[in-house]
Structure 1
Amino acid sequence: MKITSTFASLLVCALGLATAVHGQQKKTTSILINPPGLPKLPTAEAAKEAAAAAGLNLTNIQGDIVVGMSKLFETFVFFSIADATTFKSKLRSDILPLITNAEQMLANETQPDTLVNIAFSQTGLTALGITDNLNDTAFQSGQLANAQTLGDPGTTNWVPQFTTGTIHGVFLLASDTQTSVNASLANVAAALGTSFTQVYTLVALARPGNQVGHEHFGYLDGISNPAIQGFDDNPLPGQASVATGEILLGEVNDTMTRPAWAKDGSFFVFRQLEQLVPEFDKYLTDNPIVESGLTVQEGADLLGARMIGRWPSGAPVFLSPLADDPALGANSSANNDFTYTAPNNATLCPFSAHIRKNRPRADLGAESKNTHHILRGSIPYGPEVTAAEAASNKTTIERGMAFTAYQSNIVTGFQFLQQTWMNNPNFFVKNNTGFDPVVGANHGAARWTEGNLDPINPTRNFTLVNDFVISRGGEYFFSPPLSAIATTLST
């Protein structure tokens, strides 16, 4: 899309206002966290050089798309548009200056106090009068219509607001303090006034202490996020390097027809996933892998690691099959450097393991044959497990993961991973592998997974009567480029 001089002027003005609003001058600390073991953002210089070579405009891309799993505090504010005319006017004059772009996130000095991004559902675009077809059937129908496809047991467990069809969009606000997030939300709410209604809010935050970067089951999360060509051209060993068009619309390898204004936008998947941590821990201790020299707890830890495919530190079982290796887990240049090819069976890592189901690596042959990548930016929500919950092996306080993912095609991205790989007991690499034992879903019915979860007893069967992850619902959104916010969506 050719950027007009009018939009260029608006964008310069917006960035200048954002500096004043967020107090970006000479910021010395990052609003992001960088847990050991996770891929880090490229330097500003490297990203700008890669973007220039690829013809990618980082100032036109919303910042959350490239941030990944690095947020400390994040609030998701789902809203409905009450007065479309006023909302569009305020979107251009008041909200655009607050929107954080990808380039701003690359250095502390250019980061705002709070990352502010916005995305719209299909019903939200319709409310704004947008009739263009973005050419993604999952987005068009919405997540509610896809509940069965995703393995959810209907919508019984869904947050009610996700079932009404009244969610038109979502604001994402992230920072290193909840105070900053709340202040930015107040600015947004004041700017939009009665033109919008806050429908539902979810407050999320990274876990404390040495659990920063870990999800509630205790495992370091986000190690396998890919590097996006044209943004990060220096992938880590074992890290997938994917074409820009797998994440951004209208870029290289996006094979669908899109309206010109949607270029550099991305489809944003949100899922609220409750995690039953005491129940998960109880299952492991009740079903440990039994081997001479292993205590019951060590056997339980080994089963959990084989279900995930990684130890809590992030060390992959393929490289460290019998015990955790924290040094390996913390080494982002080594903890992703494997292919499943030696041996090509489940001795070191079960075919049903969560990370193998989501990224089969050499099981597909070459990495280039995998066109089903997503860029995740998930964050935990809810408190730590209480002593009473741990003692009773029963969840009484909700906690879980605000699962988020970006892709240029939900059908071949998130939906494919959930339906065709995680929920498919006949995983294409090997029949009868069973469901993903952690995140797989079978409409609330029992799930089974392959016997070689137990490397000592390959014929041992595992039947998971209850889910450890409960879908609380969600929605599909489109995260538009800043150029569209300034023009198509606000006029």
Structure 2
Amino acid sequence: MAAGQEYDVDRDAVSTHGWGLATDAWADVQGLVYSGYGTLPWARALFLDLTHAQSGWLTSLRAVAPITDGRPIVEPKVCVDKAAAIAFTGAGLAAMGLGEDALRTFSRPFREGMHQQNRRRRLGDDGPTVVDGGPQWSGNTPTSLETPDTVHALLLVYHRSEADLDRYAEEARGTLLAQKVAIVREINLDIKPDQRGKVREHFGFADGVSQPLPYLDNGRDGPPGHDPWNEIPLGEILIGYRNAHAEIAPGPQVPATDSAARWELLDSGNAPEGFRDLGLNGTYMVVRELRQDVGRFWTSLDNQAAILRRQGGDAGQVTAEWLAERIVGRDRDGRLLCPVGTSVAEGDNRFGFRSRDPHGFGCPLGSHVRRANPRDGLAPDEDSAETLRAAANNHRIMRRGRKFGRVIADPRHDDGEERGLLFICLNTDIARQFEFVQQTWLLNPNFATLYQERDPLVGPNGPLTIPQDPLRRIVDVETYIELVGGEYFFLPGIRALAYLESL
């Protein structure tokens, strides 16, 4: 199925079933693209070094942990008990035997790696938001800062129960070790809901509240119109489909050899003559291991709340929880903070900022929510609100991360255990999507009308302005989240995975 091929789309089913892509097309897409596997709360990430791997390692792995495609995920009433996904760094693809003529067709951010000097600067990874000693792992591409551990591939396995996950992961682990694949890092992940059914990150806030809604853009009908705040073309998430610029999202290619033909790699019409499309139905995956300092978060906000209360006025009822909500931009159950007299229903993600809260009296301008997706909030007037909303949607990412580590018993007491988030997101244009969000919105010191402020949740220590009438308040936030390691990965389609397996 060529990338430029047009499909019949069920316009009413786009938001709820398969994003408008036919079920048989999902046979060539890893299931992780469509689903974060919310019904499989237990997961494990295995970071692999392929330096000494035997040639048949991937075949052996897929025999015990088949890589899940999208068909069972998009089919209604199909029960999935376990799943697996795999992605590769640039150095990992080279270790697999992919030639330089193919490697150079990958996007520049992927080739350079997350820790290349200029990329580190854009991502804010050259300062205090990195663990002591610097990042601990990466793909160690030739142009990047060297880290102690080299990661060539990431295997993610999921299951319904913790015990079953242990057995599933151990079987995969044993197979990998027998094939001389080194496992340089393992992280247990989960999205267990609490008693109220909320999945929370370690600071205690509901997670995964806002996601884009991809739709298959056939070039004729435009978006479905069910949710213009969140609808984005499928090519923003999946290579080989029309993206937000009405172009086919480009991806890597391989020479049109007999091997490429054997594994049915297609000439998508997007590849130069003599090449086949390796990227079709794949995507780029950003992975960042983020350590959260829960004790510091809450004790520092206790101190800041006490300072505000001593200032008197209407700050007498300020608490650490009140400040934390303004850092995030939502309450702890995920409801958007709104000015007095307005509200957004729980679970409703269809809202703008320009008409509802232009000055940030409810959700502060510099809060994490407003920076991560400004929607129409950067519009100078109502006439430009729709244009700015559409522009903001050109930078959306699909998040697939999970938390690691035990829930802390006392949030105000550091128990010495490591906990945090394995941030994972999917996008077809790393620079325009993930890196843009990180540099231009999250870490921009002059975001909106602010001055010398950065994201109060994921950025370094500094001020946060909380607009209030008649006076604004400024609180000092500390560094609460540190990067342990990270890299850019390629999540191949199923055909492309078979091709890589044959190298």
> Which category describes the TM-score, using the shorter chain as reference length?
0.7 to 0.9
SS in 2 for 1:74: strand
SS in 2 for 1:328: coil
CA contact (8 A) 1:314 1:335 kept: no
| Among 317, 338, 345, the residue aligned to 1:318 | 338
After TM superposition, list the pairs within 5 Å mapping 1:316-355 onto structure 2: 316-318=336-338, 328-329=345-346, 332=347, 334-355=348-369
CA contact (8 A) 2:137 2:484 kept: no
In structure 1, how many angstroms separate the alpha carbons of the residues matched to 2:226 and 2:157? 28
2:63 counterpart residue number = 94
SS in 1 for 2:154: strand
In structure 2, how many angstroms separate the alpha carbons of the residues matched to 1:235 and 1:378? 28
CA contact (8 A) 1:63 1:100 kept: yes
SS in 2 for 1:434: coil
In structure 2, how many angstroms separate the alpha carbons of the residues matched to 1:408 and 1:247? 5
| Among 99, 124, 127, the residue aligned to 1:151 | 124
In structure 2, how many angstroms separate the alpha carbons of the residues matched to 1:69 and 1:311? 25
After TM superposition, list the pairs within 5 Å mapping 1:470-481 onto structure 2: 470-481=482-493
Deviation string 1:79-127 (CA, Å, 9 cap, x unpaired) is 1112352225546x636x7111122123575444211010001110011
| Among 401, 412, 437, the residue aligned to 1:378 | 401
| Among 44, 48, 53, the residue aligned to 1:75 | 44
CA contact (8 A) 2:338 2:357 kept: no
Change (3 A) 1:213 1:314: same
CA contact (8 A) 1:211 1:218 kept: no
In structure 1, how many angstroms separate the alpha carbons of the residues matched to 2:296 and 2:15? 47
CA contact (8 A) 2:401 2:425 kept: yes
SS in 1 for 2:179: helix
Give the TM-score taking structure 2 as reference length: 0.76
CA RMSD of aligned residues (A): 3.2
Deviation string 1:301-336 (CA, Å, 9 cap, x unpaired) is 2222121110011110136789xx8x933xx2x354
SS in 2 for 1:76: strand
In structure 1, how many angstroms separate the alpha carbons of the residues matched to 2:15 and 2:333? 31
Change (3 A) 1:179 1:320: farther
CA contact (8 A) 1:226 1:242 kept: yes
After TM superposition, list the pairs within 5 Å mapping 1:321-470 onto structure 2: 328-329=345-346, 332=347, 334-364=348-378, 365-366=385-386, 367-370=389-392, 371-387=394-410, 390=412, 393-394=413-414, 396-427=416-447, 429-432=448-451, 434-441=453-460, 446-449=461-464, 451=465, 453-456=466-469, 458-464=471-477, 466-470=478-482
Deviation string 1:47-100 (CA, Å, 9 cap, x unpaired) is 258113xx9811111111221372511110001112352225546x636x7111
| Among 171, 174, 199, the residue aligned to 1:213 | 199
Q: Counterpart of 1:407 in structure 2: which amino acid?
A: N
Change (3 A) 1:111 1:239: farther
CA contact (8 A) 2:402 2:422 kept: yes
After TM superposition, list the pairs within 5 Å mapping 1:137-148 onto structure 2: 137-145=108-116, 146-148=119-121
SS in 1 for 2:371: helix
After TM superposition, list the pairs within 5 Å mapping 1:281-320 onto structure 2: 281-288=298-305, 296=317, 299-318=319-338
1:227 counterpart residue number = 213
CA contact (8 A) 1:224 1:239 kept: no
SS in 2 for 1:426: coil
Q: Counterpart of 2:111 in structure 1: which amino acid?
A: Q
SS in 2 for 1:470: strand
Give the TM-score taking structure 1 as reference length: 0.78
In structure 2, how many angstroms separate the alpha carbons of the residues matched to 1:488 and 1:224? 34
In structure 2, how many angstroms separate the alpha carbons of the residues matched to 1:310 and 1:363? 16
Q: Counterpart of 2:300 in structure 1: which amino acid?
A: Y
In structure 2, the gaps of 5 or more residues are: 4-11, 139-146, 218-222, 254-276, 379-384
Q: Counterpart of 1:138 in structure 2: which amino acid?
A: P
SS in 1 for 2:473: coil
CA contact (8 A) 2:288 2:487 kept: yes
1:243 counterpart residue number = 233
CA contact (8 A) 2:289 2:421 kept: yes
| Larger fraction in helix | 1
Change (3 A) 1:344 1:109: closer
In structure 1, the gaps of 5 or more residues are: 4-41
1:263 counterpart residue number = 280
C-alpha deviation, 1:240, in angstroms: 0.7
In structure 2, how many angstroms separate the alpha carbons of the residues matched to 1:168 and 1:447? 36
Change (3 A) 1:224 1:46: closer
Q: Counterpart of 2:169 in structure 1: which amino acid?
A: L
SS in 2 for 1:477: strand
1:175 counterpart residue number = 159
CA contact (8 A) 1:100 1:112 kept: no
Change (3 A) 1:267 1:48: closer
C-alpha deviation, 1:211, in angstroms: 6.6
Relative to structure 2, which stretch is displaced further, 363-372 or 214-223? 363-372
SS in 1 for 2:163: helix
CA contact (8 A) 2:454 2:462 kept: yes
SS in 1 for 2:432: coil
Change (3 A) 1:112 1:379: same
In structure 1, how many angstroms separate the alpha carbons of the residues matched to 2:322 and 2:15? 42
Q: Counterpart of 2:391 in structure 1: which amino acid?
A: K
2:297 counterpart residue number = 280
1:16 counterpart residue number = none
Deviation string 1:271-316 (CA, Å, 9 cap, x unpaired) is 11111112211222222365878764x5432222121110011110
Change (3 A) 1:44 1:424: closer
Q: Counterpart of 1:201 in structure 2: which amino acid?
A: E
